């Protein structure tokens, strides 16, 4: 009989859970819209119900689980399993999620950052299967990261490692919400691309099929670029260049063999991967840059579920 785990992906939109065996096979799933406008106790109840339901659908009970892993929005303390008032769960204060779920369910629980569980999942069963030094980047409204170094998830001393969105690419750049200046996130996130496009449209009135007023999204820029719109393509070129600059710094520090990219902008394929790869080849270390593969992630939304289960299997982090 294989050991069984439940991996949970707690997000601002959905609470997803999956029953997963020790080989990484997903046996059953549960997904429910996050009641993010309710008190934190309600969302915690949803997590417990989701875990119970995923187990039930797989024909087992919670008592049959070897462990439970939860990926949650940061900031959090992965050593103690405490979620620390995440932006995506506005009604949450400091929530000792590990202790609460562990006490309720009587099963060992691990809690880690959502970007970290995605990296662990992709390294176990996805893009990073064959490498021990691996960076996983989530390119959304912000930029998140998870790093595997020498086969192990990099936590750092208080669980704030791999914050690739907050490395400086221009020390004279604008201030970021994090307190730093010129952060990569201000140049290469979906939000940053939209902001830059709006500014250029307003200032330079470029030839483009994009709307000159009203709401603009990265998806609209993507559609325009696919249709050959030069201005939209240029927006992706710039975004990929900036991301490449940030990745070179990360590669020079972490010496990872692979960078896998996920999130909205990663769906744009070569429009974004092209300029990223060219920038890394132009700026990276000789002996390193030719060997680093930069590719899309492979597991989609399952990465977080599978990674959370894997962390549960490994018994979590030193505390």
The footprint of a second copy on residues 197-216 (CB under 8 A) is none
Distance CA 67, CA 170 (A): 44
Contact 148, 134 (CB under 8 A): yes
115 sits near a second copy (criterion: CB under 8 A): no
Element (H, E) at 40: helix 40-57
Gap between the Cα atoms of 130 and 145, Å rounded: 19
Nearer to a second copy, 309 or 317 (CB): 317
Q: Which is nearer to a second copy, 227 or 252 (CB)?
A: 252
Task: Give the footprint of a second copy on residues 7-66 (CB under 8 A).
Answer: none
Q: Is the dihedral of CA 139, 140, 143, 149 positive or negative?
A: negative
Shortest distance in whole angstroms from residue 75 CB to a second copy: 7
Tokens for 288, please give them: 């390193």
Instruction: Compare residues 143 and 305 and give the one whose CB is closer to a second copy.
Output: 143
- Collapsing DSSP to helix, strand or coil, 293 comes out as strand
Please identify, using beta-carbon distances, which residue of 218 and 279 lies nearer to a second copy. 279
Shortest spacing between CB 2 and a second copy, in angstroms: 29
3-state secondary structure of 18: strand
Tokens of residue 171, six digits: 């020390």
Give dist(CA 310, CA 147) in Å, integer: 15
Q: Give whichever of 178 and 209 is closer to a second copy, judged by the CB atom.
A: 178
Whole-number minimum distance, CB 196 to a second copy, in Å? 14
CB atoms within 10 A of CB 72: 30
Q: Using CB under 8 A, which of the segments 27-35, 108-116, 287-295, 305-313 binds a second copy? A: 287-295
Cα 74 from Cα 86, distance rounded (Å): 6
Which of 140, 181 has the CB closer to a second copy? 181
CB of 19 to a second copy, least distance (A): 30
User: Backbone phi, then psi, for 97, in 5-degree steps?
Assistant: -60, -40
* Helical axes 40-57 vs 97-105, angle rounded to 10°: 50
Find the shortest distance in angstroms from Cβ 135 to a second copy: 9
Q: Give the Å distances, CA to CA, from 208 to 221, 300, 311.
A: 10, 32, 47
- Of these, 250, 261, 272, 294, which contacts a second copy (CB under 8 A)? 250
**Strands ordered across the beta sheet of 4-10:** 26-33, 14-21, 4-10, 67-72, 109-113
Residue 117 binding a second copy, by CB under 8 A: no
C-beta of 201 vs 288, nearer to a second copy: 288
**Residues numbered 60-79 forming contacts with a second copy, rule: CB under 8 A:** 75
- Is residue 288 part of the contact set for a second copy (CB under 8 A)? yes
Choose the binding region for a second copy from 4-12, 57-65, 127-135, 197-205 (rule: CB under 8 A): 127-135
CA distances from 54 to 57, 106, 314 (A): 5, 16, 21
One residue of 203, 207, 215, 318 binding a second copy per CB under 8 A: 318
Residues 128-187 binding a second copy (CB under 8 A) are 131-133, 147, 149-150, 152, 154-164, 166-172, 178-181
Of the candidate spans 12-20, 212-220, 223-231, 252-260, the one that interacts with a second copy by CB under 8 A turns out to be: 252-260
Check binding of 276 to a second copy (CB under 8 A): no
Locate 309 and state its tokens: 């289960």
Under the rule (CB under 8 A), what is the footprint of a second copy?
75, 84, 131-133, 147, 149-150, 152, 154-164, 166-172, 178-181, 242, 245, 248-250, 252-257, 282-289, 291, 318
């Amino acid at each position: 009989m294989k050991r069984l785990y439940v991996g949970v992906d707690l997000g601002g939109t959905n609470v997803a859970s999956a029953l997963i065996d020790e080989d990484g096979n997903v046996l059953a799933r549960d997904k429910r819209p996050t009641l993010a406008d309710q008190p934190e106790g309600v969302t915690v109840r949803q997590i417990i119900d989701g875990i119970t339901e995923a187990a039930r659908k797989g024909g087992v009970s919670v008592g049959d689980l070897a462990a439970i892993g939860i990926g949650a929005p940061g900031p959090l303390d992965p050593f103690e399993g405490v979620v620390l008032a995440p932006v995506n769960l506005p009604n949450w204060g400091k929530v000792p999620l590990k202790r609460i779920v562990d006490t309720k369910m009587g099963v060992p629980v691990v809690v880690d950052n959502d970007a970290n569980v995605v990296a662990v999942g992709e390294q176990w069963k996805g893009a990073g299967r064959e490498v021990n030094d691996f960076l996983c980047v989530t390119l959304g409204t912000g930029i998140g990261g998870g790093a595997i170094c020498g086969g192990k998830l990099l936590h750092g001393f208080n669980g704030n490692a791999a914050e690739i969105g907050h490395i400086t690419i221009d020390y004279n750049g604008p201030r970021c919400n994090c307190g730093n200046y010129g952060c990569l996130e201000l140049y290469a996130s979906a939000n940053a691309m939209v902001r830059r496009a709006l500014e250029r449209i307003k200032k330079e009135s470029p030839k483009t099929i994009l709307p000159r007023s009203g709401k603009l999204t990265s998806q609209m820029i993507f559609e325009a670029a696919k249709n050959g719109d030069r201005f939209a393509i240029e927006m992706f070129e710039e975004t990929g260049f900036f991301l490449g600059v940030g990745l070179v710094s990360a590669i020079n520090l972490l010496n990872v063999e692979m960078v896998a990219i996920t999130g909205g902008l990663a769906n744009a394929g070569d429009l974004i991967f092209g300029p990223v790869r060219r920038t890394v080849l132009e700026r990276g270390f000789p002996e390193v840059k030719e060997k680093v593969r930069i590719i899309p992630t492979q597991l989609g939304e399952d990465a977080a579920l599978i990674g959370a289960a894997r962390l549960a299997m490994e018994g979590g982090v030193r505390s």
